[in-house]
Amino acid sequence: MMSRARITTEPIEPQALLAGVGDPSRGAVILFLGVVRNHNDGHGVEGIRYDAYDEMARGTLEEILVEAEERYGVGHLAAVHRVGELGIGEVSVAIAVSSAHRAEAFDASRYVIEEIKVRLPVWKKERFEDGTSEWVAGKQPEVSAEGGA
Partner 1 sequence: MKVRALFFASYREIMGGAEFDVDLPDGATVSDLITLLRGRSDAASVLPSDPAVAVNRSYRTSDALLADGDEVAVIPPVAGG
CA neighbours within 13 Å on the CB side: how many for 36? 27
Q: Are 94 and 79 spatial neighbours (Cβ–Cβ below 8 Å)?
A: yes
Which member of 2, 16, 56, 103 binds partner 1 (CB under 8 A)? Answer: 56
CA distance linking residue 92 with residue 102, whole number of Å: 25
Residue numbers 100-139 binding partner 1 by CB under 8 A: 113, 116-125, 135-139
Least Å distance between CB 117 and partner 1? 5
Determine, following the binding rule CB under 8 A, whether residue 139 of this chain makes contact with a second copy: no
148, 149, 138: which is closest to 51 by C-alpha? Answer: 138
Phi, psi of 129 (to 5 degrees): -65, -25
Contacted entry of partner 1, a second copy, none for residue 33, CB cut-off 5 to 8 Å set by kind: a second copy
Q: Are strands 5-8 and 76-82 parallel, antiparallel or unpaired?
A: parallel
CB atoms within 10 A of CB 103: 10
Which member of 4, 43, 49, 110 binds a second copy (CB under 8 A)? Answer: 110
Question: Site residues (CB under 8 A) for a second copy?
Answer: 14-15, 18, 22, 24-39, 88-89, 98, 100, 102, 106, 109-110, 113
List interacting residues with partner 1 (CB under 8 A).
34, 50-53, 55-57, 59, 81, 92-93, 113, 116-125, 135-141, 143-145, 147-149
